[in-house]
Structure 1
Amino acid sequence: MRKLNRPSTSSESDKTAAKVGLFSAELIVAITLFICLITFFILAKLVLIDQNQAFDQTINQFFAPYTNATTTRFMSSITVLGSARFMLPANILLILYFLFIRKHRWYSIKIGAIALSSVLVMHLLKLIFNRSRPLIPLLEPAIGLSFPSGHALTSVTFFGLLIYFVNGHTTNKTARILLICLLVILILLIGISRIYLRVHYPSDVLAGYCMGTIWLILSLKFLNRMERRK
């Protein structure tokens, strides 16, 4: 008698696990978006409408005892990594790398599109909320408006995009975790440097992180959908 070919149990288990994993990832993304959006609007209402400075004052008081020449030099070096003079050439080099070396046109499109759109979103939000900078910067006063922090927003979109690439293409688990942790620490340090140097209020930085996360997730979803259609 001929034996009936039954589907492999392990194959079905793999499919189920994949579906559960995909659902879990989508759920985490949705929760992250919701938390960031709510946090951003709470901060905007708290500091710009209610004029409540308690959050900013508490964080600034925490950093005050740690102000010294060595820390200032370190923070001044870190803050450059979130500036336009670093981000512009870094984005261009990354676009060229994926375009000509890795031969991955869509990655180069994603980098350029997210970089340009995040800068536009940042400037638009600054104009909408029109918050002035802190009055007593530690070193030189920063130019422009304060809310949200452009350094925080663009560091999330740029280094967050690197995290996205590393997570998808680094096969060595240890290396992947190490690189992601280093990039997350760098994002946090850039934001902390803006608070330490007193060129942004803590609420500016937290709002920048929230909006940067929102914009990065939405941009990747939109661009990935376009990529699949093409």
Structure 2
Amino acid sequence: MLRRFSRRVKRFWAQLALLSVEMTIVLVLFVIALTAFVYITRRVFVLNKTKLDNAVFNYLKAHVSERNNDIMEFFTFLGTHQFLIPANLSLIAYFLFIKKHKWHSIKIPAIALSSLGLMFLLKGLFDRKRPSVPLLFEAKGLSFPSGHALMSVTFYGLLIYMIFKSVKNPALKWTLIGLLIILIIIIGSSRVYLRVHYATDVIAGYCIGFLWLVFTVWMLNKIEKHSKRKFDKVVEKPELKAA
């Protein structure tokens, strides 16, 4: 009996330590993303610095080719609404009808729609024009922050969070997470390669996307726990009366 209790106590402290490590890492990344966003915003709109944007454009210019054009157009498509809307709807259907996980099916559209609203709000607030000479095609709308970068972080980042929490096999878990991180980076880079965004637009999109994802996941998890506690109380009351 004592041995079993001792094992449970050790398991509890191990889980608590792991949770603390996770929270510490997320908090550090949150502070870094916030600091980077403030720094980029000040650099672009207060100091009017363009050195980084020009340097990245010049570097990518040396790598322009027909093959790379096709590759970057494909990856940029994976960050468009034409792809993300069906992808979100498919995920909602999967969690709602197959996995029967109601809260995941709520979190997905809540994060997607709020991210979209935040993107339009920030674009209107900063009102930065896009690069004047795109590589292949013109893009509509304003430039800062990059919508592709922001929406990629919130959508694929949510997938990363779900994989981290649900996939048990460590090799599979970290392989999937690594591939999704690479995908996010390439989607953002494709926008600069195609000259429809500045590098600072993409960095800002990554930062604000991460900040919003962390905030919304935390908030929705709080609401989920509160809702479950209320439901449990409602279920318990009839049982007490029956007793």
Scaled by the length of structure 2, what TM-score is found? 0.90
User: Is 1:128 matched up with 2:139?
Assistant: no
Match of 1:87 in 2: 84
Please state how far the C-alpha of 1:7 moved relative to its aligned partner: 6.9
User: Is 1:19 matched up with 2:47?
Assistant: no
**Distance in 1 (alpha carbons) for counterparts of 2:108 and 2:58:** 37
**Distance in 2 (alpha carbons) for counterparts of 1:47 and 1:128:** 14
- Aligned partner of 2:117: which letter? L
- Aligned partner of 1:16: which letter? W
**Distance in 2 (alpha carbons) for counterparts of 1:131 and 1:5:** 66
Equivalent residues in 2 for 1:1-230 (5 A)? 5=2, 8-230=5-227
**Distance in 2 (alpha carbons) for counterparts of 1:98 and 1:107:** 6
- Aligned partner of 2:69: which letter? T
- Aligned partner of 2:23: which letter? E
- Flag the 1:172–1:68 CA change in 2: closer, same or farther, 3 A: same
- Flag the 1:54–1:100 CA change in 2: closer, same or farther, 3 A: same
Please state how far the C-alpha of 1:13 moved relative to its aligned partner: 2.6
- Flag the 1:66–1:9 CA change in 2: closer, same or farther, 3 A: same
The farther-off stretch of 20-29 and 181-190 is 20-29
Please state how far the C-alpha of 1:11 moved relative to its aligned partner: 3.2
Please state how far the C-alpha of 1:5 moved relative to its aligned partner: 4.3
**Distance in 1 (alpha carbons) for counterparts of 2:43 and 2:52:** 9
Cα deviation digits, residues 159-200 of structure 1 (max 9, x gap): 011111111111221111111111111101100100100000
The farther-off stretch of 52-61 and 193-202 is 52-61
**Distance in 1 (alpha carbons) for counterparts of 2:18 and 2:174:** 18
- Aligned partner of 2:58: which letter? Q
The farther-off stretch of 11-20 and 71-80 is 11-20
Q: Taking every aligned residue pair, what percent have the same amino acid on both sides?
A: 44
Instruction: Provide the aligned length of Structure 1 versus Structure 2.
Output: 227
**Distance in 2 (alpha carbons) for counterparts of 1:157 and 1:5:** 46
Flag structure 2 segments of 5+ consecutive residues without an equivalent. 228-243
Flag structure 1 segments of 5+ consecutive residues without an equivalent. none
Cα deviation digits, residues 127-184 of structure 1 (max 9, x gap): 0000000011001110000000000000000001111111111122111111111111
**Distance in 2 (alpha carbons) for counterparts of 1:179 and 1:33:** 22
Please state how far the C-alpha of 1:6 moved relative to its aligned partner: 6.6
**Distance in 2 (alpha carbons) for counterparts of 1:15 and 1:158:** 32
